[in-house]
Structure 1
Amino acid sequence: MVPKRGFHHGLAIAGFLLLSLAGVAQGAPDNSPVGSGNVTVADPTVPRPPGQPCVVQLFSNDTFNDYSPRPFNYTPPSGCGTHWSKVVLEGDFSITSGVQYDRTATIFLAGVNLYFGTTQEPTETAGRSWHVERDLTDYTALFRNAGAGQVFIGNIVNSTYTGVIHGSARLLFYPASVVAPAANAPDAVYPLGSDPVGSTVTLNDSSSQMAATLTLPRNVERAYLDVFTQSQSNDEFWYTCVPDPYASETEECGGGNFREAEISIDGQPAGVAPVYPWIYTGGIDLFIWKPTPGVQTLNFMPYRVDLTPFAGILSNGSPHTVAVSVEGANSYFSATASLLVYEDKGAHQVSGALVQNTLANQPPTPTIGSTLTQDSSGNVTGAITTDLSRHFAIEGYVNTSHGRVDTTVNQTVSFADTQTFDITSADYQQISNQLTKVDGYSRSMIGKQLSGEFKASFRYPLNVAVNETIETNGGYSILTAIKQGYDQHTGLSVGGFPLYSADVHNHVQGSDTLVLDSNFDILSHSGQQTTQTFTFGDSLGGCYSGSVSSANNVVTAYSTGQACPGHRNRVYWFTHPDGSPYQGDTLLPW
């Protein structure tokens, strides 16, 4: 049989209204990236309100050449007040030419994650640079106090791995104004990790937990959890793995391919966060991701879980444990999460209870099916399916200063994966076809009157096709084609009237053919091509579109705004064209 696993997983290691209608145009870069091999993405930047921001530099041109975190001290900006219309993180990173892995990068402040992503790989003759941004307005409460932070990019630099990473990051605070009032941000932010400065937590298996026991204010009205779960080590390619009974027959990694983050409060299931199948720049075929990486590869987006039905319990003055685990984790996932809390400004104490929780009786146990067959020659054909769909409702209430508020979180979360195999003595073909879906709403009511409803739908499609052939000289030819997507629809209504809706679509597809010798050393590659398209549109007329294509590892086409009216991007400063989470709290009637 072709020793496909020895290559496939080894390659990543070896591969080195004035307020509401103030539109902000996003134009093309001054210099076209066509012909460049540097990192080029179609993603939008974070839109900004009018006015000059106050800037706080977190760290500047730090060098990352070992496994030590780089500490920094944060002081709130002066002359900008303590309430801002928007807070944005900007980061600029680079790597020198040479040989280097893709590396995980994080920035933390006072235990709270500000940034989570990975790095681009260089070539032996050229370095790479890239820019990231994250909307941190919902973390405003964190930035009102001085604190200690650290950035961590663990990196080995020696005679073999020579690429050195450099980075800088800063926070931009946009003062509140008449046209851009202060954001209705959460009143407090609590990290789940145990490190007071900040780091990720390792989740080795399904029983591993990232947890924090917190005694919260006694007037919690709404609560949300921003969750990151990043696959590492044996789990890096979890989406291609198969259940243990089929691992030997298919020459694949075991442990199955179902992964899902489970959120609990005091041991009771409280929500679900789907795991996004991020592919890093050394993943599967490293040439596919030069110069355009996969979806969110350099800048992960958190998934926000609505925990508001538990607000009454969280406000009772007792300590409560909020925890995250990853079902199916198989050594290992890196995780971090932040609890965002809104308080009732008109009451020092609220009361409430959980009314129902149908998630509690639905364990995350997928159904496995197989049509695999093996003939007398040892040829294997067929498919393995993994499926799970759960519909649940979690309802609770809080007695607040403005009346009893009942909140229901209603979701359907589903996972469907098909692994198709055609294996002979000379060929190994595998197609991994996966789709994670979330459809649901969070609905809040005062008395019998519907007050606010936030709908959200997510789709994470992934298709990985690998065709590996043994050549007559004992070497290998491997054709890889990947399609990866992120689709999001959100909508907000108040009193039954729709107020706002938005759609985000981010899709990357690429292919490449590798030629290796019998020792799995890369001899050459050919046919590299990658395309990314990113679109955003909302009910206010906001529009963003971007597209980038490459061939033979240089940009061959780039456009921005072509799919928008007048061929021009125009988004509003308070929107989230990058897909970052929001709940529409600024429009709720209390």
Structure 2
Amino acid sequence: MAESCYVRVLFLLLLVVTPLPISIASPLKLRLSASESLPLNGGQWFQINNNEDVESASLAVPANAYRAVLEVYLSYHGSDEFWYTYGNPFNGNGPFREVTVRIDGDVVGAVWPFPVIYTGGISPFLWRPISGIGSFNLPSYDIELTPFLGWLLDGEEHELGFAVTDAQDFWYVDGNLHLWLDPRSAATTAGIISYDAPPLEKVTAVASRGPGNEYYQTTAFRRISAAGWVQTSSYGKITATWTQRFSFVNTNQVREDTEQTVNQTTDAYSGVHVTDHAGVAYSQEAEQSFPLYIYQGQVNQTSNDSFTEETSVQLRFEEERVAAGRPGFWSRSLSNAQDSAVDVRVQEGDAVGTSWRAAQTYRYEATDGCYYRDVASQGYGVVSDHADEVCAKGSPAAGRAIAGGAATELGGDAAAAAGVARLSS
């Protein structure tokens, strides 16, 4: 008969409370509208009519927020639809515009907008059948407000405001405040470490070269930075830094009152870096460049009423994004470029013929796939349309999906390039 054997095992269970890995890039928990509140339905755009207007919404941030990002939307109309063509600072307030974001009056972020040209802008023929970048898909802009939670987490309402530098009648602006909430506590605590927002630097140089011949150059610079901390129950102490840098140059030349050339470039940098007890939790940097060239002039003139009116527009949306941290590394590069031109033949004051062409090149490259498309048109007809993947990753179907997502997230216009892929897939 086998003998029974008993073994006594002692388990020593040690309970160690460790903060959860920070989910700074996880799906948001709450969204608040930063828009005009009307008695019946609310949710309206703020209308900004001049340089002095500051429109704001009163918001109370939940006590357990640990991250805040403001998504800004804007569009311009009326006297400011073509703000970039005003060379003379005494005529239309000059060619520079910026949207500033404010908390209780202090500038905490800025948007130097991409110059969207709507479908009838400058000359309607420029955008038939290839529409202007962003004209059916206005880009949005993110402002990291996490460093400012030390101002916002006091249980009080705060004014989240918008203004437009040198604005004319009129601009529409509003935003969505995206908030991440601590799942383990009813309240977080926060403080601001540093904040620096020097005044905008803007200079216009004027050179007159005789009657009807003028040259203007406007340059502008801006930087904003802030750092703050948030103490959470779920993730421990979080420290966030936010940086923006901008530069702008616009040259505007008028010759003999019959020709105008506009050459403009806006460059923008933004960076957010978040650390916790374990090191870098999340980091993202973005560089954007918005070149714009416009020419309008009369050529082949045989009399005051007989000539050819030439118009050409070159427009680009360039962006590079890199992110790293616990969610992983990724990079994205977007180049969306258009070149359009129209000639209108005028005889004795009447338009007797019009010809136009357009071309667009859309290139998106990322760690998760790539997409390329090149489209050209003559008149109302598309004369060439080429799509391809410029790297080995992903299937053609995935390339189309990536391009569609990039158009929404990075500001490319789906209607003229990436959207064609979805329609033809």
Does TM, normalized by the shorter one, top 0.5? yes
Matched, 1:533 2:361: yes
How many residues get paired? Answer: 380
Q: CA deviation at 1:440?
A: 2.8
Q: CA deviation at 1:487?
A: 1.1
Q: CA deviation at 1:491?
A: 1.0
SS in 1 for 2:409: coil
Separation (CA, whole Å) in 2 of partners of 1:515 and 1:231: 31
Tell me what 1:59 maps to. Answer: none
Separation (CA, whole Å) in 2 of partners of 1:303 and 1:518: 48
Tell me what 1:505 maps to. Answer: 335
Tell me what 1:450 maps to. Answer: 280
Matched, 1:284 2:128: no
Matched, 1:551 2:378: yes
Q: CA deviation at 1:197?
A: 4.3
Tell me what 2:29 maps to. Answer: 187
Question: Which sits farther off after the overlay, 191-200 or 213-222?
Answer: 191-200
Matched, 1:369 2:199: no
Q: CA deviation at 1:577?
A: 1.9
Q: 2:162 aligns with which of 324, 330, 353?
A: 324
Separation (CA, whole Å) in 1 of partners of 2:156 and 2:67: 17
Tell me what 1:296 maps to. Answer: 134
Matched, 1:392 2:237: no
Whether contact under 8 Å (2:371, 2:402) holds in the other structure is no
Matched, 1:487 2:318: yes
Whether contact under 8 Å (1:192, 1:210) holds in the other structure is no
Q: 1:580 aligns with which of 399, 405, 409?
A: 409
Separation (CA, whole Å) in 2 of partners of 1:468 and 1:336: 40
Residues 572 and 186 of structure 1, relative CA distance in 2, 3 Å threshold? farther
Whether contact under 8 Å (1:479, 1:511) holds in the other structure is yes
Tell me what 2:248 maps to. Answer: 415
SS in 1 for 2:303: coil
Alignment of 1:456-467 (within 5 A): 456-467=286-297
Aligned-residue Cα RMSD (Å) equals: 2.4
Q: CA deviation at 1:209?
A: 2.6
Q: 1:209 aligns with which of 42, 54, 73?
A: 54
Q: CA deviation at 1:210?
A: 3.1
Q: CA deviation at 1:417?
A: 0.9
Q: CA deviation at 1:370?
A: 1.9
For 1:152-205, what per-residue CA distance to the aligned partner results, in whole angstroms no more than 9, with x for missing partners?
A: xxxxxxxxxxxxxxxxxxxxxxxxxxxxxxx93211111122243433221111
Question: Which sits farther off after the overlay, 552-561 or 470-479?
Answer: 470-479
Q: CA deviation at 1:390?
A: 2.2
Counterpart residue type for residue 361 of structure 2: T
Matched, 1:435 2:265: yes
For 1:552-588, what per-residue CA distance to the aligned partner results, in whole angstroms no more than 9, with x for missing partners?
A: 2211111222545499463497894215169xxxxxx
SS in 2 for 1:440: strand
Separation (CA, whole Å) in 1 of partners of 2:136 and 2:227: 36
Tell me what 1:405 maps to. Answer: 238
Tell me what 2:398 maps to. Answer: 570
Give the TM-score, by structure 1 length: 0.61
Q: 2:305 aligns with which of 474, 479, 495?
A: 474
Whether contact under 8 Å (1:394, 1:409) holds in the other structure is yes
Counterpart residue type for residue 255 of structure 1: N
For 1:274-333, what per-residue CA distance to the aligned partner results, in whole angstroms no more than 9, with x for missing partners?
A: 212111111111111100011111111211111111123222211111111111111111
Q: 2:388 aligns with which of 542, 561, 565?
A: 561
Q: Which runs of 5+ in 1 are unaligned?
A: 1-182, 248-253, 583-590
Matched, 1:354 2:184: no
Residues 562 and 217 of structure 1, relative CA distance in 2, 3 Å threshold? closer
Separation (CA, whole Å) in 1 of partners of 2:320 and 2:195: 25
For 1:513-565, what per-residue CA distance to the aligned partner results, in whole angstroms no more than 9, with x for missing partners?
A: 1234676x644312x1101111111123x011112110022111112225454
Whether contact under 8 Å (2:359, 2:375) holds in the other structure is yes
Separation (CA, whole Å) in 2 of partners of 1:518 and 1:224: 57
SS in 1 for 2:132: coil
Whether contact under 8 Å (2:99, 2:165) holds in the other structure is yes
Q: CA deviation at 1:243?
A: 3.0
Tell me what 2:421 maps to. Answer: none
Tell me what 1:3 maps to. Answer: none
Tell me what 2:3 maps to. Answer: none
Tell me what 2:4 maps to. Answer: none
SS in 2 for 1:371: strand
Counterpart residue type for residue 366 of structure 1: K
For 1:336-366, what per-residue CA distance to the aligned partner results, in whole angstroms no more than 9, with x for missing partners?
A: 211111111122111112222111xx22341
SS in 2 for 1:366: strand
For 1:86-111, what per-residue CA distance to the aligned partner results, in whole angstroms no more than 9, with x for missing partners?
A: xxxxxxxxxxxxxxxxxxxxxxxxxx
Residues 517 and 259 of structure 1, relative CA distance in 2, 3 Å threshold? farther
SS in 1 for 2:372: strand
Residues 363 and 291 of structure 1, relative CA distance in 2, 3 Å threshold? same
Whether contact under 8 Å (2:305, 2:346) holds in the other structure is no
Higher Cα radius of gyration:
2
Q: 1:241 aligns with which of 66, 70, 86?
A: 86
Separation (CA, whole Å) in 2 of partners of 1:238 and 1:536: 29
Tell me what 2:173 maps to. Answer: 335
Whether contact under 8 Å (2:70, 2:144) holds in the other structure is yes
Residues 516 and 187 of structure 1, relative CA distance in 2, 3 Å threshold? farther
SS in 1 for 2:62: coil
Whether contact under 8 Å (2:262, 2:294) holds in the other structure is yes
Alignment of 1:233-272 (within 5 A): 233-245=78-90, 247=91, 254-272=92-110
SS in 1 for 2:151: helix
Whether contact under 8 Å (1:544, 1:577) holds in the other structure is no
Residues 235 and 242 of structure 1, relative CA distance in 2, 3 Å threshold? same
Separation (CA, whole Å) in 1 of partners of 2:400 and 2:135: 25
Give the TM-score, by structure 2 length: 0.83
Residues 574 and 293 of structure 1, relative CA distance in 2, 3 Å threshold? closer
